[in-house]
Amino acid sequence: MRYLALAALLLGACAHDMTKKTAPVEPPSTLPPAARDELASDEQQLRRFDAELDALSAQAQPLDCARFALLRDNICTLAERICSLADRYPAEPTLPPLCTDARKRCARAASEAAKQRACGP
């Protein structure tokens, strides 16, 4: 009986240690506050312009080609600004994936298929 109680205590202690999981520690950001604010603003605008472009492209009525071109240009400009931050702060681990995503959004907006859907050949 004594060994059974000891075994139960040991199992309980092991189980307790297994449930203690520490959250991965993220390295501190290397971006200065002004760059962080710029990045947050650029990301927010990029997503808004991308959503507007998608909504504009999905319309059944004739599209506003000038608006389409402006949104496309804004998306690509913001993508380059985000990637410029990634170049200026290479030690910041969050920036390369954001740059990649931004460039994909630019490429999608600038693609021939997007142009044809929006404004014809």
Residue 16 three-state SS? helix
Locus of tokens 């931004």: 102
The ranges assigned to domains in the chain are 32-119
Cα distance between residue 112 and residue 121, in whole Å: 8
Mean pLDDT for 3-7 is: 49
Q: Which residue has the higher pLDDT, 68 or 8?
A: 68
- Sign for the CA dihedral angle at 44, 47, 50, 52 comes to negative
pLDDT of residue 62: 75
**Cα 102-105-111 angle, rounded to 5 deg:** 140
pLDDT digits (tens, 9 = 90+) for 34-44: 999 999 999 99
Token pair of 115, please? 């142009």
Residues listed for the chain? 121
pLDDT digits (tens, 9 = 90+) for 10-30: 555 555 555 556 666 666 777
